[in-house]
Structure 1
């Protein structure tokens, strides 16, 4: 009888251990593991969302600038004003025509400007800073690469990458566009592609 009780107790104990192990493994798999890197979410006016992971190890000042602008609400209500399918989508201009920015310009953190630590390539989903001919003219405008564009490497400050929402990137890239009256580039959306908010998820 004692053996029978011991067997039952052992079986019960094993069942409890297995249940606890299963519960623990389930709870871990249900959570998105943090990489310790900053993450931001771009939510569009229609509810579509893109989440980007930012890489301060490549472009620290660029990341800090983008996070600061997002936290201040700077990007809320702005648009993707320049869209070239198979290349990139560009936004972050308060004027909405490619000529505006914030009150601050930052150093161009890319190798062509003497910043060798930025080796992040402009592959699909990478976010990078737009600028004028002046290498230190980046401000608030950014672009997300729609298709690999290695020719931009070393000339623009790439600083993060999409970790979810590539379907949203494709959807925005499919927006009907017309010619820019000044440059002739066919990249101006025929209808506003509006950002509802850019939210910092983690820093």
Structure 2
């Protein structure tokens, strides 16, 4: 039980850092669009990466080279530029919080969620490498407990921020307010893109 609690607290401390993925989840919650799907994808992705780190840590530690990290950073910067461009392009479009999503919109949300999750090297450093390295000397049953605790933290966090955002959306159904929200999202993603560019330049 103590290893499950340790996993929960460790996982929660890692995931609480504000990043592009968390901002995206919050935005979908505010829009009331595919919240359950977005939260589920993020949580299940963490579950997969956490247990990959715990049970295959030495394998990943050997093969996750700086070159692979560079490639992921380049893919992430391309993804962020496209996301920022799309945000700017639709800047004056009023958000309809009651709109039902069609198939193409659902597909777009899924792809964006996967992009924010799996193209971010820091997701791997937190889940695979940190948690895997932290638990490498645990007994097998302790590894399971630790992983389950960390996974519960992930599910709790993503579904909390997603549905809390949905709750507060009732106070945000205002065109001018959404402009400020979009400005914040654009600026935040731009700062993350600058940080990723810095990481890319360090490689050279």
TM > 0.5: no
Largest Rg, 1 or 2 = 1
Give the TM-score normalised by structure 1. Answer: 0.26
The structure with the greater share of residues assigned to helix is 2
The structure with the greater share of residues assigned to strand is 1
Give the TM-score normalised by structure 2. Answer: 0.26
